[in-house]
Amino acid sequence: MLEDVLAFERKMTVFARDVQRGTLSHFPSLREFREENTHINCEYLQDAIIEMQTAFGKRFSEFREEKSTLSFPVTPLDIDPSQLNMSAFPGVSQPDLEIELADIADKDLWMSKFKSLTADLEDVARQKAVLAREHKWSDIENLPKPDKLVFETWNAIPDTYMNMKTYAFGVLSIFGSTYLCEQIFSSMNYIKSKYRSRLTDDSLQSCLKLKVTSYSPDIEKLCSDVQKQKSH
């Protein structure tokens, strides 16, 4: 998401410059409209785009400020530890984190995990671009999820590097917006309605997990683990 936000900001600069020049290369519909109408207030359009860019920049200013922190889960060794935001993760010791980063840098076994992660993410992005160009949106949904690939990589790292893992998982748990939280609350209100007021917290948590995640229980295994009721 960080890369998409930064890229969109740069695109708005390109759009504003395009309108200022009057070429409208990135606005084909507007260009056709201009051919049928003698006058278009390009200055107004340029100001509107710049105003939008300014508002967008303020909304996501923390993304730019915390770029090193947000990039840590994918490229931990390419980041200066002193630039990481430690205040949000009080359970992580910065001195120990720096030592762990120095130690893992020479461990080829674990370093290969991050190299494989980068290669896998690049492959997914490449496939996504090809499918998007061909408008195969349903096929994009079947591609491996980048966040899952990142989680699997860190789960494979031993607990010897606990500060690194804690920091990475902490960053991965950050919500880019309140959308997901609002979605969970909406689902919770739907599940725990007035007709199910006696639903326990544990049962509600399980229902929410089934509702808002891709978790798929192994029904056959669960059934096999439960002792069958014997007939009398």
pTM of the entire structure? 0.62
Task: Please count the other Cβ atoms lying within 10 Å of the Cβ belonging to residue 87.
Answer: 6
Which structural domain, as residue segments, surrounds residue 20? 2-65
Residues 115 and 146 in one domain: yes
Q: What is the pLDDT of residues 156-166, one digit of tens each?
A: 999 999 999 99
Residue 6 confidence (pLDDT) above 60 = yes
Of the residues 22, 38, 65, the one at which a domain ends: 65
Q: What is the pLDDT of residue 100?
A: 94
Answer whether residue 230 is part of any domain: no
Residues 168 and 76 in one domain: yes
Residues 84 and 166 in one domain: yes
Mean pLDDT of all residues in 86-96: 88
Mean pLDDT of all residues in 212-228: 76
Work out how many domains the chain is built from and give that number.
3
Answer whether residue 12 is part of any domain: yes
Residue 232 confidence (pLDDT) above 60 = no
What is the spatial distance between Cα 6 and Cα 66, in angstroms, rounded to a whole number?
A: 12
Question: Which of 22-26, 46-50, 220-224 is the least confident region?
Answer: 220-224
- Measure the CA angle with vertex 106, ends 124 and 91; round to 5°: 75
Task: Please count the other Cβ atoms lying within 10 Å of the Cβ belonging to residue 231.
Answer: 4
Question: Which of 109-123, 159-173, 211-225 is the least confident region?
Answer: 211-225
Answer whether residue 194 is part of any domain: yes
What is the spatial distance between Cα 129 and Cα 144, in angstroms, rounded to a whole number?
A: 14
Of the residues 43, 65, 87, the one at which a domain ends: 65
Question: Which of 129-138, 142-151, 213-222 is the least confident region?
Answer: 213-222
